Structure 1
Amino acid sequence: MRIAIYDLDRTLTQRATFTPFLMFCARRTAPWRLLALPIWIVAMLGYRAGLYSRTALKRFGLRLMTGSASPDRLRSVGEAFASRFIANPGLMPKTMAELKQDRRAGARLVIATAAFEFYATAFAAALGFDAVIATQWDGDAIPGGNCYGASKKARVLAWLEGEGIPRDRASIRFASDSFADAPLLDWADEPIFVTSSASQARRARVRGWRVIDPLET
């Protein structure tokens, strides 16, 4: 079985999605929450300074910018957000060409992302993916933590097990723009690193990963 797994942010999409989603959701549900945007910026700086985890940051961001919006409401907003985001700023041309090849080859298409499932599923549906592995949200907390790094690999392995797919019977390619995804890239049969940076490309090639420039047409 051929399985093609893609990261979402900056792999399929031209920009990261979380902060744009927070702003989009605030405008749709409670515009006054946009006044809290400077607080969110300070919170991101605190994360970069190592004061707390990505999971804590993302939980804070959702509570700050979306309030008590239910998961169902977030999914509804997520559908509108994905449609708008795909149109502008858009998708990565070269990555989409890779995806088209995988679809033609009959691969099972999976998004594995740290983005929240309530909007990642909308991207997956719009782009014709078969499954989504993403960060969860129960309305108050993030069960299992952020789907990132080694945790993302663990969730992919759990998905394979749940689907009854033995690893030795699957040919797996994985595309990502992030060195945080090294556990999955090293594990995949065909690792694809997505970058326009010459220095990052050199680092990726040293590890034996194929490199694509996502903006190539």
Structure 2
Amino acid sequence: MKLALFDLDHTLLPLDSDHAWGQFTTRLGWTDAATFTRRNDEFFAQYQAGALDIHDYVRFSTAAVRERGAQAAAAAHQQYMREVIEPHILPAALELVEQHRRAGDLLLIITATNEFVTRPIAHALGVAELLAVELARGPDGWYSGEIAGTPSFREGKVQRLEQWLAARGLGWDTVHTTFYSDSLNDLPLLEKANVPVATNPSPGLRALAQQRGWRILDLFETLA
């Protein structure tokens, strides 16, 4: 089986969907603008530096959703898709996905952003299989602020993919994987993939890809 694996933020999207969701809810008045923006930017900088505590970040990033409840959160996400995400679903990303679909590859998005934010985005990109940070639910059935299972972040992406493969009776030796990512945070999975592709890479990943001879794809400039 051939698998085409895609990171989401800054890979198939030219933005960070989690960071953008936080900015969006601030514009809705769900959070104090100055306080939230400062903390959101701090977490984003930690992510870029490879120093993010994913559990602390998920508690922070889901606080407004947890407070507002399921109905308000769903309505806000529909607006977020229309106003923020859909204008940034670009032809180059859709064509890359379609290239792999035409080749008969199984498509999967694997992202460190949580499932609430990303599932509608994956659907809009035409990718049915999604491995995202799963959110635990409390006794009331709504999100608790904690992560369920292994977060799909750094080494956790490898573990989550291994779990996904095992559930289908597959393993690394029975699949051929191509993985697209922009970030050094994804180095564990890039190193496991048969074909790692540094996509819109950060400076650090670009330098590493050049050193190792990995393909570099500046997706929003060219599909070459």
TM-score, length basis structure 2: 0.81
Shift of 1:123: 1.3
Partner of 1:209: 214
Q: Distance in 2 between matches of 1:87 and 1:15?
A: 12
Does the aligned pair in 1 maintain the 2:6–2:12 contact within 8 Å? yes
Aligned residue for 2:110, secondary structure, equals strand
Q: Distance in 2 between matches of 1:83 and 1:45?
A: 23
- What are the superposed Cα offsets for residues 147-204 of structure 1, whole Å, 9 maximum, x if unpaired? 2110111111111111222321211101000011011011001111112667742321
- Verify: 1:81 aligned to 2:80, yes or no: yes
Structure 1 unaligned segments of length 5 or more: list them: none
The partner residue of 1:102 within 95, 100, 103 is: 100
The partner residue of 1:38 within 28, 34, 58 is: 34
Matches within 5 A, 1:155-170: 155-170=160-175
Aligned length, in residue pairs? 211
Q: Distance in 1 between matches of 2:110 and 2:4?
A: 10
Structure 2 unaligned segments of length 5 or more: list them: 137-142
Matches within 5 A, 1:1-217: 1-25=1-25, 31-34=28-31, 36-44=32-40, 47=43, 48=45, 53-63=53-63, 65-70=64-69, 74-75=73-74, 77-88=76-87, 90-91=88-89, 93-138=91-136, 139-140=143-144, 141-144=146-149, 146-195=151-200, 200-217=205-222
Q: Distance in 1 between matches of 2:221 and 2:106?
A: 24
Does the aligned pair in 1 maintain the 2:183–2:201 contact within 8 Å? no
Does the aligned pair in 1 maintain the 2:13–2:93 contact within 8 Å? no
Query: Alpha carbons of 1:22 and 1:110: their partners in 2 closer, same or farther (altered >3 Å)?
Result: same
Alignment-mate amino acid for residue 119 of structure 1: V
Does the aligned pair in 2 maintain the 1:201–1:211 contact within 8 Å? yes
Does the aligned pair in 2 maintain the 1:108–1:130 contact within 8 Å? no
Q: Distance in 2 between matches of 1:182 and 1:45?
A: 23
RMSD over aligned Cα, in angstroms? 2.7
Query: Alpha carbons of 1:199 and 1:32: their partners in 2 closer, same or farther (altered >3 Å)?
Result: closer
Q: Distance in 1 between matches of 2:39 and 2:90?
A: 29
Does the aligned pair in 1 maintain the 2:184–2:204 contact within 8 Å? no
TM-score, length basis structure 1: 0.83
Q: Which moved more, 1:174-183 or 1:116-125?
A: 116-125
Query: Alpha carbons of 1:93 and 1:76: their partners in 2 closer, same or farther (altered >3 Å)?
Result: same
- What are the superposed Cα offsets for residues 49-99 of structure 1, whole Å, 9 maximum, x if unpaired? 799723202311321x334244575455434433443332x1355444322
